[in-house]
Amino acid sequence: MTHSAHPTPLEARSSGPLSGKARVPGDKSISHRALILGALAVGETRISGLLEGEDVLNTAKAMRALGAKVERTGDFAWSVRGVGVAGFAQPEMPLDFGNSGTGCRLVMGAVAGCPITAVFDGDASLRSRPMRRILDPLELMGARTGASGEGGRLPLTLHGARDPLPILYRTPVASAQIKSAVLLAGLAAPGVTTVIETEASRDHTELMMKHFGAQIVSASEGVHGRKIALTGQPELHGAEVVVPADPSSAAFPVVAALIVEGSDIVLSDVMTNPLRTGLLTTLREMGASIEESHVRGDAGEPMAQLRVRASKLRGVEVPPERAPSMIDEYLVLAVAAGFAEGTTIMRGLQELRVKESDRLEATAAMLRVNGVKVEISGNDLIVEGKGHVPGGGLVATHMDHRIAMSALVMGLASDKPVKVDDTAFIATSFPDFIPMMRGLGAEFS
Find, among 228, 221, 222, 267, the residue nearest to 248 by Cα: 267
Ramachandran angles phi, psi of 231, nearest 5° = -85, 120
Find, among 240, 309, 246, the residue nearest to 273 by Cα: 246
Rounded to 10°, the helix 176-186/132-140 angle is 30
Query: What is the pairing mode between strands 380-386 and 341-346?
Result: antiparallel
Residues with Cβ within 8 Å of 330's Cβ and at least 6 positions away in sequence, in order, are 323, 346, 349, 352, 359, 363, 381
User: Which strands sit side by side in the sheet containing 10-13, from one edge to the other?
Assistant: 394-395, 418-420, 10-13, 443-444
Q: What is the CA radius of gyration of the chain?
A: 21
423: amino acid identity, one letter: T
Burial classification of residue 416, based on how many CB atoms lie within 10 Å of its CB (0-12 exposed, 13-18 middle, 19 or more buried): middle
Helices (H), 212-246: none
Helices (H), 113-203: 124-127, 132-140, 176-186
- Identify any residues that bridge with 270 across adjacent strands, giving them in sequence order: 245, 304
- The catalytic residue among 96, 123, 298, 328 is 328
Neighbour-count burial for 212-243, b at 16+ CB within 10 Å, e otherwise:
bbbebebeebeeebbbbbbbbbbebebbebbb
Cβ atoms within 10 Å, residue 71: 11
Say how far residue 213 (Cα) sits from the centre of its chain. Answer: 24
Cα torsion 145, 149, 153, 156 to 10°: value is -40
Residues with Cβ within 8 Å of 394's Cβ and at least 6 positions away in sequence, in order, are 369, 419, 420, 421
Active site residue 298: no
Active site residues: 328
